[in-house]
Structure 1
């Protein structure tokens, strides 16, 4: 293939007879050329280290991104230009003769227009793994043209207008918060919604040649990956020592809740949500808990939502359509995300109607794994798959009800522990160990476990006997307790890279739950 993607596109057009099938032929052609994952490494990435302005005009780039907005109407383009030349993919956009000549309406076609952004909360090590072959340089900080379309306010990111010409593919394949790797030709063009303005601004625009879905683990993982007990123990010990003052049980609960995902929507089998109470508040409201840095070292997508009165009352948690444009919100996150909610920054004061709506959006997302998008005359609910860990200074969360609550219990040796130390102050394991941690949690995120008939019968009988032995009605176990414990056993099996829930796993789940309950005042 030519070093210029445009030359390859034009040559393919000249050899293709059917105009209607040409976009699909482009997708098939370029997708085949880069079918080997190693071949993709030779395409320059579009990211913070390689911003749009660092690339030549019409450069071939790849953009690992989250689809943020699919509400734009299709764009009409001239598929054949003067002299039977190829149209679309940004070709001829600056050709003044197009405005002077009569238009052959038979040559008009539609392309789908989306807005996509850098993956919110993507850990830096993911880019180091997937973009390792690319040489980064020092560029001026990128100023995204529409920062309101990124979930985290004021965060550095890349925002790009995406144009997809293989429309049947686009109609079925791209939905809000999905992750895709877009490969195409980079230009700067007016925003589709601003075309009728006298002086529309230019935004980075990617004319897609082909795309591929990105797994929720960012870096592909398989399950089971390896015998995990030793690595699992080391991971829990590191989380505890680095961010939770040596509390191993709290670290284990954080690990288990973070690897959870939606198993079923009918019936609902949703991730366990966790509140870690008695967690000290920071001296500086802007400080990030060390737990956030630790989780970002091992999980691919981690977002910290720092609750404060200002955040609650002045920012949006749910996406909202304003002035013909979808503004993002804190909770517009891709599947597989871990969301760490910190309550330590909330001080005395009033919560506005917007703040109450924001709190309600978080709770509804925890309860049902759905998020409402607010439009002028309607609301639409979209499915989510995000795990939540809440850090609360009080006896329990001040705002949310979660499935699991465990008070922090620092180890006796952890005196004057700094829960808010910066990332560079955290002692990290050797790189080989870190990679094993990442493989463990990644494979657990995509894993599935079963339960044998014999184990199921044992669990049922064990639960019945436990109910009979309950000392008082207030301590009586319910069917919800059984469901909760089964979910916990499943997460334990996943964390051990086991294919089945076994009797020993069940016993571990009971013991972990019993230790948790002893910490909670009756």
Structure 2
């Protein structure tokens, strides 16, 4: 059973409705105009902020991912960590309406919990729609770290607040709530109508089970095989500038799933924005879960580490961690200490600032001297090590066929009004390893030429062209790029070209769990440190970049 209305974890909608009704009853004039007409927060967010960050409730909120999806009950509080892959515009909905003399709210829901009389006084509110996905290239240890911290209980969303005592006055106030606030959180409109007709309610179904019963055909099951979970996030009370494309966020909100929405997804809503309707037809709840966001926060590499693991930032300790990591990289690279030093500097690089079209701080690295044999040994070892050290990493086998057929740049599909993702739509801080040893002589078609330009622009300027059919837009990026090739790459101009000279071939011993945590902490911490360049040095760097650009233009 769902807890009392202020059980923010199991029954967040109960807390939302209770705070709304209290706000409406607090003043003889009722709700203020900003809340009534625009849906401005009436104090509900303060309740969840207190629960999550003051009472320690955040660690009890399950993370919505392919593993936990089967066990999370609809209408419960969840977290979703992902990248904003597309912005679908705004959606209009009946935010509040008058039920007799009392105002009711539909905020943070897909379907009204109360029947709305056709003659009822109502207000239309607005919310933003974001299509989010699991961060591309997210490595397995990130998911394991998140799961180990939460300790999600499959039999129940949580009983974190059930032991809290409430005063008799609070309980008497709660009895005035609509009975739907006390129904099990998995109740859909279909099961509610069954109870009204005197029939027994349906047992709880997971989203996938409900989809199989009500919406045959392709379902979320196929998407889960890739260990990636898309999610439609509905944003309230947030400025547009706070959420940007390709940023990584943690969204905390109400997870909703209603089989009726999957069945009647083609039904029109007179209050919906037509632009969003086109996109939502292709994103039914059977494929994309919904999350109504209460609170969101931008994430960095630090947020994916175990919060229980903290290193005191003493110079001696940091030096020891660095030396151990350097020894590990040296062993992976066949005892090539110079290459290990350069790889470490490469992993610590990031874009600190932009001067005109130049990205200051990036350090792309081209290790030359690889063959198909050595790349299968040292290249694979290095890629595996990066997967264990970094939260997000990708590898690209650059063959002629891949170059001529792959979709590297995102493009806008105006038929579905969706942004079709490309390989290079990556989150900030992602590492990309390109294996050029497989590239053989041949003919590059028009797609291959366009892909070559995309890769070159990413390497030189840390920008990716997004194709909007009638025009192209450059989007800033911050991707660490490592190139493994036989000779100096002709199509991928790196900042640093270094001959790779291994001296031994030996099996590499992976670091212990504690060592891996220390190395991850070291890379995340040092990479996130602020970096200021004196004005005089800035001028020197700017002249150097101009000279480098001029040299590159001369050599083609």
Q: Is the 8 A contact 1:317 1:361 kept in 2?
A: yes
- C-alpha displacement of 1:427: 2.2
- 1:175 equivalent in alignment to 2:253: no
- Unaligned segments of structure 2, at least 5 residues: 1-5, 25-30, 155-205, 212-217, 266-275, 549-556
Residue of structure 2 equivalent to 1:366 = 459
Specify which of 80, 89, 106 is matched with residue 87 of structure 1. Answer: 106
Distance 1:102 1:452, change over 3 A: closer
- C-alpha displacement of 1:370: 1.4
**For 1:6-50, what per-residue CA distance to the aligned partner results, in whole angstroms no more than 9, with x for missing partners?**
211111111123333543633333223212595311001112322
Matches of 2:43 and 2:422 in 1, distance apart?
A: 37
- 1:126 equivalent in alignment to 2:142: yes
Specify which of 283, 299, 302 is matched with residue 390 of structure 2. Answer: 299
**For 1:95-134, what per-residue CA distance to the aligned partner results, in whole angstroms no more than 9, with x for missing partners?**
7x55x72574x50011000101111222332333333233
Specify which of 1, 5, 13 is matched with residue 12 of structure 2. Answer: 5
Q: Is the 8 A contact 1:302 1:338 kept in 2?
A: yes
Task: Please identify, of 348-357 and 436-445, the stretch whose mean Cα deviation from structure 2 is larger.
Answer: 348-357
Task: Please identify, of 188-197 and 206-215, the stretch whose mean Cα deviation from structure 2 is larger.
Answer: 188-197
- C-alpha displacement of 1:135: 4.2
Specify which of 328, 334, 340 is matched with residue 245 of structure 1. Answer: 334
TM-score w.r.t. the length of structure 2 is: 0.70
**For 1:414-436, what per-residue CA distance to the aligned partner results, in whole angstroms no more than 9, with x for missing partners?**
14x68xxxxxxx52122222222
- C-alpha displacement of 1:350: 2.8
The count of corresponding residues between Structure 1 and Structure 2 is 441
Matches of 1:22 and 1:66 in 2, distance apart?
A: 26
- 1:399 equivalent in alignment to 2:488: no
**For 1:360-385, what per-residue CA distance to the aligned partner results, in whole angstroms no more than 9, with x for missing partners?**
11111111111121112122221111
- C-alpha displacement of 1:293: 1.2
Matches of 1:16 and 1:326 in 2, distance apart?
A: 40
- 1:444 equivalent in alignment to 2:501: no
- 1:208 equivalent in alignment to 2:293: yes
- 1:232 equivalent in alignment to 2:322: yes
Residue of structure 1 equivalent to 2:367 = 276
* Superposition map of 1:437-516 within 5 A: 437-448=519-530, 480=544
- C-alpha displacement of 1:279: 1.9
Q: Is the 8 A contact 1:225 1:440 kept in 2?
A: no
Residue of structure 2 equivalent to 1:27 = 45
Distance 1:158 1:144, change over 3 A: farther
Q: Is the 8 A contact 1:225 1:443 kept in 2?
A: no
Q: Is the 8 A contact 1:182 1:211 kept in 2?
A: yes
SS of equivalent to 2:498: strand
Matches of 1:59 and 1:10 in 2, distance apart?
A: 14
Q: Is the 8 A contact 1:218 1:300 kept in 2?
A: no
Distance 1:318 1:197, change over 3 A: closer
Q: Is the 8 A contact 1:81 1:92 kept in 2?
A: no
- C-alpha displacement of 1:176: 0.6
- C-alpha displacement of 1:305: 2.2
Distance 1:224 1:390, change over 3 A: farther
Q: Is the 8 A contact 1:187 1:204 kept in 2?
A: yes
